[in-house]
Each structure stands twice: as C-alpha cells, then as structure tokens.
C-alpha cells in the first residue's frame, strides 16, 4: 500500500479523536486553502498557549477491541492500514520541513496487544527525537493495558500524553467498551501524574520550570451521548480527573452515530453538539472559576440547561447571591457574575486600586453588560436600566435573546441609569 493511501486511511480514522480542536472540520471545501480536513492536519494549543498545526494520524486502525461507538472496532468491515515507524517518522519530518506542520498527534487502535502497539508508537517517537533530532510538539495517546515501562518511555518522549476514558461511569464503560477496564485507564494516568511530579522535584531550583517528563501534561476525552450518562456524572468525572489525576484538559466529544447497535443512539440521530458546547462551558468554570461540579448540576437537575450558559443558569438559581458590588467584591465573587471573566475581574481589581469605578467605566474594562448588568451594583446603585422578573431575566440571558435581539432592550452606555438597590 502506498504511504499516501495509508495517510488518507489513518488520517481519516483519527478524526474522531477531538483532542485537537480543528480536527475533522468538514465545513468548507476539503481541497480549499487552509482546510483542516485534508490528511489529518489539525491544530492544538501548547502549554504556553501557542496554536500549533499537527499531523494527526493513527499508527494503525487494526483493532483487537470492539468498542461499540468506534469506527475502528474489530467487527466493522473497514479498510485497514498500519504505518511502519520509519514511514511515519519520515512523513512527519517531510511535512515539517515543508512547513506544513509543527508537530505530531499520534494515536492508535490496539494492534495485536497494547504492548506491541505502544512499542511501534514509541519506536516512531524515538526515531523522531533521537535519529532526526526533532524537537517539535508531540501529543501521543497511550494504550490502556500497556506495561508501565512503555508508559514511562512515552512520557519521556512526548510533550503531552493522553488516555481516553471515553465513558464517565464504570457501567457505561462496561456496556460500550467491554475490552477496557477502569483499572487499565486509571493506572497509567496515575503513573503519568506521579512521574511528572517526581521529575519536577528532581529538577534543580534554577530549572524548576523545565519539565523533561511530559511537559504539557496529560489530557483525556469523554464521549457525550453514546450512553445514558447524564451531565452530572460527566462533570463529576471531569472534576475528579482535574483534582485527583491533575489532568490539564478534558475534551468532550459529541457522539457521531456511525455504528448501528441497540445499545447506541439511532444511526439517524444528530450528534449532541449543543450539549457538548455546554459541557465545555461548564468545564471552563471548573478549571478557571473555581466552581465545583455539584454547583452546576445536582440530583434534582442532572443535565445542564441547554438554553443558558452554565454560569447564567447558576446565577438564576442563586439570585440571593446578587447583586455584587463592583467596587467592593473580592476577585472570586466577581468571577461568579455572568459577563465578568477572569481578565475583566483582574482589570476591576487593578482599577480599584486607584479609583472607584463608575458605570461608564465598566464596558471599557471588558465586562459584558448585556449579561452582567442584571447582577451588579456600582456605587450603591443597580447598573441595569430596569430589574425584570425572573422569567424575563431568563429570556434576556438565554441564547434566544441573542437571536431575537430586536425584542430586547439594548443596554448602551447612554442608557445606563441608576436604580437604587433599595428600589
Ligand atoms: S480500542 Fe476501542 S476506541 Fe480504540 S480504536 Fe479500538 S475499538 Fe476504537
């Protein structure tokens, strides 16, 4: 088989892994300039926030396992291919030299056994790092069930390593991925976490920022909507992965119905993209706003509200927390206000050191007033031009309001009138 054919097959097979943000994009003509759909070029973000383009491929799509949701599963009648480590290393270097990519995202199905698959992947990475002297970004997927020696070796070679947990509960995993076990997923994640910590402690103080073991940390992916798991179970799992396993990132992948099975959603159903979007918003709140998963979803409301972003939904359920005074609230309290992000909260704290903020200062420091104004006071007075009843407020904060902007009174600086908090 020609290498270009292997690349087409294994680039296409890799597109269901969402750990690279632009992967699998099909919105534009796939042959057009800048398209992310061709032969597995995708984009990702490095530890220092740079966007890098990566060659995204599988080592092989031959798989011994039979995960129900996966296109590469053993029981699918599917064109299969496998790269030799030398082929893939040469391909990566030739793309790199032509300035098409800055790194590699390497995943794989399970060929023969987890160890044999990992050995091929590691051989590819060794060729890149040791033979070609490649210093670019490498994100590699570790294969659950591989030996700890191989997991460690991968951590030494790759910038980021990920192990996909795929399902948020043990029951979901048993049902849809019967060849995998919770232990085979958790064990390597713990090993990678501890390995990173050990190397960090070994570094001399002067080089403490230079991490040699998996410098960009580890990430994972959870599939959304393939099983009956609710958002509460998914966010609880994410919280655990951030707190206990020190993951850098959890990715959520709306299930694309590709396989027919009574345990899966209908082949005709649409991927739950809005749900995926809400989970990403909630995940952002966990990582940067110090929300806990139980604050966003509960036994009574186990699903995220699809009409509201999770922070607005939380605010509507906690109206007694508001109003927040812009000139007096601490940083964490400011972060709870819809329309105030980490940057605007920092700017508020900085500006307050020199002067008291006035309403006309607020949009200039990045506060999104169409959301925040209902929840804040400034110099003792409400910023919103009027205070709506709860159902109206819900509408004003919902995505529908964005679409029906003409129905909603726009808040401009000129309209900012004070309403006494006592009113
Ligand atoms: S192990 Fe499961 S998810 Fe991974 S490629 Fe094989 S069938 Fe797909």
Could you tell me the residue ranges of all domains in the chain? 3-290, 310-420
372-401: b (≥16 Cβ within 10 Å) or e: bbbbbbbeebbbbeeeeeeeebbebbbeeb
- What pLDDT, on the 0 to 100 scale, is given for residue 48? 61
User: Please, which pLDDT band fits residue 207 given cuts at 50, 70 and 90?
Assistant: low
Segment 344-374, tens digit of pLDDT: 999 999 999 999 999 888 989 999 998 999 9
Q: Who has greater pLDDT, 44 or 218?
A: 218
Q: Is 87 exposed, middle or buried (0-12, 13-18, 19+ CB in 10 A)?
A: middle
Residue 3 CB-half CA count within 13 A: 10
Nearest 10 degrees: Cα torsion 196, 198, 203, 205? 100
Q: Minimum mean pLDDT among 107-121, 175-189, 370-384, 385-399: which range? A: 385-399
pLDDT at 225 over 90: yes
- What pLDDT, on the 0 to 100 scale, is given for residue 122? 98
- What pLDDT, on the 0 to 100 scale, is given for residue 40? 61
Residue in the structure block whose two tokens are 């990430």? 219
Provide residues with CB under 6 Å of ligand 1: 63, 65, 67, 70, 72-73, 109-110, 177
Residues forming beta bridges with residue 58, ordered by sequence position: 107
- What pLDDT, on the 0 to 100 scale, is given for residue 272? 92
Q: What span, in angstroms and rounded, lies between the C-alpha atoms of 336 and 283? A: 15
pLDDT at 270 over 50: yes
pLDDT at 338 over 90: yes
Cα separations (Å) of 221 from 186, 207, 247, 304, 393? 13, 31, 11, 19, 35
Closest ligand 1 atom to Cα of 109: 5
Across 262-276, average pLDDT: 90
Percentage of the chain beyond pLDDT 70 is: 85
- What pLDDT, on the 0 to 100 scale, is given for residue 267? 85
User: Please, which pLDDT band fits residue 412 given cuts at 50, 70 and 90?
Assistant: very low
Residue 294 CB contacts under 8 Å (≥ 6 apart), including other chains = 236
Best residue among 108, 109, 175, 181 to mutate for probing ligand 1, ranked by most atoms within 8 Å of CB: 109
- What pLDDT, on the 0 to 100 scale, is given for residue 78? 86
Residue 88 CB-half CA count within 13 A: 32
Residue in the structure block whose two tokens are 């632009």? 22
- What pLDDT, on the 0 to 100 scale, is given for residue 415? 34
Closest ligand 1 atom to Cα of 166: 3
Segment 92-128, tens digit of pLDDT: 999 999 988 889 999 999 999 999 999 999 999 999 9
**Which fold does the domain 3-290 belong to in CATH?**
TIM Barrel (3.20.20)
Query: Cis peptide leading into 323, omega within 30 of 0?
Result: yes
Best residue among 72, 77, 121, 173 to mutate for probing ligand 1, ranked by most atoms within 8 Å of CB: 72
Tokens read off for 315: 């605010």
Q: Minimum mean pLDDT among 65-69, 123-127, 259-263: which range? A: 259-263
Best residue among 15, 67, 81, 167 to mutate for probing ligand 1, ranked by most atoms within 8 Å of CB: 67
Residue 164 CB contacts under 8 Å (≥ 6 apart), including other chains = 17, 141, 185, 220, 221, 222
């Amino acid at each position: 088989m020609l290498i270009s054919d292997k690349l087409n097959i294994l680039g296409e097979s890799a597109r269901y892994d969402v750990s690279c943000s632009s992967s699998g994009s099909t919105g534009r003509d796939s042959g057009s300039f800048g398209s992310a759909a061709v032969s597995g070029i995708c984009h990702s973000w490095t530890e220092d926030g740079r966007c890098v383009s990566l060659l995204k491929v599988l080592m092989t799509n031959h798989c011994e396992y039979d995960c129900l949701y996966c296109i590469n599963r053993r029981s699918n009648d599917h064109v299969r291919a496998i790269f030799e480590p030398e082929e893939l290393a040469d391909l990566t270097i030739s793309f790199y030299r032509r300035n098409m990519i800055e790194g590699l995202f390497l995943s794989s199905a399970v060929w023969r056994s987890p160890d044999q698959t990992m050995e091929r992947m590691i051989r590819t990475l060794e060729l890149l790092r040791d033979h070609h002297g490649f210093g670019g970004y490498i994100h590699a997927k570790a294969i659950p069930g591989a030996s700890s020696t191989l997991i460690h070796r991968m951590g030494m070679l790759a910038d980021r390593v990920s192990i996909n947990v795929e399902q948020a509960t043990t029951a979901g995993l048993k049902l849809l991925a019967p060849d995998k076990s919770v232990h085979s997923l958790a064990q390597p994640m713990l090993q990678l976490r501890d390995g990173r910590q050990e190397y960090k402690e070994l570094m001399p103080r002067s080089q403490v920022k230079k991490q040699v073991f998996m410098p960009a940390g580890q990430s994972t992916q959870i599939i959304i909507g393939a099983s009956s798991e609710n958002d509460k179970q998914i966010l609880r799992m994410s919280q655990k992965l951030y707190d206990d396993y020190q993951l850098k990132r959890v990715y959520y992948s709306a299930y694309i119905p590709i396989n027919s099975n009574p345990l899966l959603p209908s082949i005709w159903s649409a991927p739950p993209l809005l749900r995926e979007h809400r989970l990403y918003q909630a995940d952002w709140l966990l990582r940067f706003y110090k929300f806990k998963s139980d604050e966003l979803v509960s036994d009574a409301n186990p699903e995220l509200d699809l009409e509201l972003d999770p922070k607005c939904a939380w605010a509507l359920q906690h109206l007694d927390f508001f109003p927040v005074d812009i000139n007096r609230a601490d940083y964490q309290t400011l972060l709870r206000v819809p329309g105030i992000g980490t940057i605007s909260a920092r700017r508020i704290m900085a500006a307050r050191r020199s002067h008291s903020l006035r309403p006309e200062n607020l949009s200039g420091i990045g506060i999104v007033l169409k959301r925040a104004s209902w929840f804040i006071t400034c110099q003792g007075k409400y910023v919103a031009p009027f205070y709506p009843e709860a159902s109206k407020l819900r509408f004003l904060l919902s995505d529908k309001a964005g679409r029906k902007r003409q129905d909603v009174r726009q808040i401009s600086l000129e309209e900012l009138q004070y309403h006494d908090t006592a009113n």
